[in-house]
Chains A and B, each alone.
Chain A
Amino acid sequence: MAIVKTERHADMPPPVTQTGVIGWMRENLFSSPLNIILTLVSIYVAWAAISSIVSYAFINANFAGETRADCTGSGACWVFIKARFGQIMYGFYPVEERWRVDVGVILAAIGLFLILSDVVKEKKWPAAYMFVFVPIACFFLFSGGYFGLETVETSQWGGLFLTLVLASVSIFVALPLGIVLALGRRSTMPVVRMLCVGFIELIRGVPLITVLFMASVMLPLFLPEGVNFDKLLRALVGMSLFSAAYMAEVVRGGLQAIGKGQTEAASSLGLGYWQSMGLIVLPQALKISIPSIVNTFIGLFKDTTLVLIIGLLDLLSIVKAGTTDKEWVGMATEGYVFVAAVFWVFCFSMSRYSVWLENKLHTGHKR
């Protein structure tokens, strides 16, 4: 019988309407009348938003020029940012000394890359470089006064540079101090425990703005006239202690998630307190707290803008001050948009790094 097919028909591809872009769209965007309506409305909203943003920020924007008079378009006038870019980045740091900031940032960036990436497996030397050499080098580079470098007072620091200094110093101090506080809070020694609990609860009980305000306004009143701590130093101490208290609670959360069996197993192996903490408990605890730690860092990074109230001109406040220059009145929107973009870039990178780190350290605990 010739009509009976003996061999198997070759597999046909599924119909075009079921696969690829079209299939996906039929499946996800146009599967029912309601979905069709929702899709069309969403497309319209997205189009309206994106097109107005693009025309504001690019098509109708001004890029060329030097002064306010060059702001002729109906969109953003990036001339403002361009004309004051140096100031926004470095504050009042003398122009001829700005290379020092660049060098410091590059040194720190190299260190960060070595520590954070997978390129170097052995972290001992990068860690020594990053946590000992870089801070010392940056201190001398930024403030000067030695090795023939001209002294640059902290009152001249500003802009993104100041924001980065505030954030990185606070982060560097907060993490180790927070771990110590968290361990202290779980300590069996009553005095240590009470001191740690007292510190954490006291600092967490007040807003950061209050801490800064205390450091800036109240502290000088209690000191004899003529004795002045550096304003930036006061802010740094305030911010570091504040974020250390938050960090302590984050780390404590991680510590509590590690079963008691881990410590007991470590003890039965003959490990002392510091060994069991350092080798067994903390690595696990810190790993599961990564999202919260990064969350705290991101919060801290954005909180640096609060130094505005004590008259330090960080990224946000230097742009704000710039908009009050009578040559540039009315540039507030451009300034704020730019600042928002810079903050977004930094916070988003931190967040992506934490995701990457979580995946790298993923050892099956994840549910």
Chain B
Amino acid sequence: MKIASFIAVAATATLMATAATAGTLDDVKAKGFIQCGVTTGLAGFAAPDNAGKWVGFDVDICRAMAAAIFADPEKVKYTPTTAKERFTALQSGEIDVLARNTTWTFSRDVNLGFEFAGVNYYDGQGFMVKKSLGVKSALELSGARVCVQSGTTTELNLADYFTANGMKYDSVVFDSADEVREAYLKDTCDVYTTDQSGLYAQRSVIANPEEHVVLPEVISKEPLGPLVRHGDNQWGDITRWTLNAMINAEEYNITSANVDDLKANSKDPNIQRILGVSGDLGQQMGLSNDWAYNIVKMVGNYGESFARNLGEGTALNIARGLNAQWNKGGILYAPPLR
């Protein structure tokens, strides 16, 4: 990633020039909306619907933040950003938060001067094959022709994985995801590899999705999450706990449907704390105490957002997998709200 290191240098230079500013929350409250960086279009994560409204899993993070701050999820303005300019946009203050399926890595966190608020989607590189091949595991793929997109970390991960397992492969390299898919469909290669969320998205485009299977192996870690600038801890906290509140709400089975009932009747101290019936968690962050109630009421909990944008029943049809709650076989584990 030459561009990343280039931006890193430039961003560091800027950081030195301009002292970290505080008070994003005040700025946001003053202007009356959150400026949120999203992708220019990624199925399930962020895309404009027929009416031109941005919808998606990442978009829900921004909507949840707006619900927490303004009690109105519509008070968000979206800036479509490309992979190359997303970090500059955040660095320069053009956007307040970047929710754009961005992998949390050391260099982005430390070197670029960002603060990742958590992980809203655990992604990882996987393999898709045709069911007719009868392959059940990636370890059976020795000698396979693998279609891969050029110039991505995907290519390197692929080489590492096959070398580590002592297997041979031929890589068939293409420039764009669409080309890779067409090549895979035309049997130019046996295996299609990219991030699993990408595999599901590509599979949803194929005429007979049920004839293709995504293998269980995940060969790289791609934790995706929203991020903000270094140096404004209050704003970072709001982003982090907005995400955590959504995850916690799912863990305690608080949904947009039953949240009013639970707020009025629940005796569970955890639920009371989350919904602001007891304690002053919201005020400690500079928000109102019903911030998490508003998130769940207006946007929904993590599971609802997942089901609406990515889950079974949508065209993407992604299983929860790693993204299930920690007590349901996944690794989604949010710190408690107390």
Contact = CB atoms under 8 A, between A and B. Distances in A.
Interface in B275-320: 309, 314-316
B309 A221 contact: no
B50 A220 contact: no
B132 interface: no
B84 A213 contact: yes
Interface string B36-64: 00001111100111111001100000000
B81 interface: yes
Interface in A126-158: 153, 155
A11 B338 CA distance: 110
Given A221-B92, A308-B40, A321 B48 contact: yes
B50 A84 contact: yes
A313 B80 contact: yes
A327 interface: yes
A320 interface: yes
B40 A228 contact: no
A228 B82 CA distance: 18
A309 B82 contact: yes
Given A83-B50, A84-B50, A326 B91 contact: no
A320 B18 contact: no
B171 to A, nearest CB: 24
A92 B48 contact: yes
A320 B41 contact: yes
B48 A87 contact: yes
A323 B41 CA distance: 8
A-side interface mostly: helix
B13 interface: yes
A71 B309 CA distance: 21
B218 interface: no
A155 B93 contact: no
Contact of A322 (B10, B14, B48, B85): B48
Contacts of B10: 218, 221
A326 B18 CA distance: 41
A325 B21 contact: no
A277 interface: no
B170 interface: no
Contacts of A92: 48, 52
A326 B43 contact: yes
A225 interface: yes
Contacts of A68: 315
A68 B43 CA distance: 15
Interface in A305-356: 308-313, 317-318, 320-327, 329-330, 332
B316 A326 contact: yes
B125 to A, nearest CB: 20
Given A228-B93, A321-B41, A324-B41, A221 B85 contact: no
18 contacts: A155-B77, A213-B85, A217-B88, A220-B89, A220-B92, A221-B10, A221-B91, A222-B14, A225-B92, A226-B21, A231-B94, A308-B82, A311-B82, A313-B40, A313-B80, A325-B48, A329-B204, A332-B178
